[in-house]
Amino acid sequence: MLLVAVCFSVFKPVAVAQKLSLDVQTLVELQENRHDGATRTYCGISNSTTAVGILVPATVLTVGLIKNDNATIKKGFYIAESIAAAELVTFGLKYSIKRQRPFEANKFITSAATSNPAGTPSFPSGHTSEAFSTATALTLAYPKWYVAVPAYLWAGSVGFSRMYLGVHYPTDVLAGAVVGAGSAWLMYKANKWLFKKKPQVIPQF
């Protein structure tokens, strides 16, 4: 869903939209096809990001502590570290690039989000970054299809919701997905290196 939206082309012959970039055209088309039911749904999906980003590592950590399972505890910490790393990179990029929100830069685009992100930089999407970091870390920690599929469906829906609600451009969302997934992958590699078992040296007599 996310990739389709990012690569989305506008075929509707709107005179104004024809003069706009693909980034803006996509948001114009999404805005023209908004309806109340979908808007409420995507607001809920978008607003779930922080809660899921907290609950997933907290749940894994809690299970590990209850079972006294060091491997599960490490996975919980790894997921939390991945989300924190993604947030740090996203924050740095946002305030380095300082891109305006779509509804601030274009008067014909309106925000349908329940929380008002006005005044905060747009690139990359923080919600998308957090969602893809959570999904990627969870999938790397538990590499099963029944973990990966719902995780990435949710993350993709978060990214799409940010465009549907008019608070992010497609390129913001794409960059957020790359930052989130990349942060989780890098933290995975860092943890593997950190906890790598050293080969035992057999003493020679």
pLDDT at 5: 45
Q: Could you identify the residue written with the tokens 């114009």?
A: 28
Note the pLDDT tens digit of each residue in 164-193. Answer: 999 999 999 999 999 999 999 999 999 888
Q: How many CB atoms lie within 10 A of CB 196?
A: 8
The predicted structure's pLDDT at residue 143: 94
What predicted TM-score, i.e. pTM, was given to this entire model? 0.84
Q: Provide block-wise average pLDDT over 10 residues at a time, the chain (205 residues).
A: 42 44 91 92 95 96 95 95 97 95 91 86 96 97 96 97 95 97 95 71 48
Distance CA 181, CA 190 (A): 14
Sign of CA dihedral 200, 67, 153, 113: negative
In angstroms, the CA 45 to CA 171 distance is 20
Domains of the chain (ranges plus CATH)?
A: 27-194 (1.20.144.10)
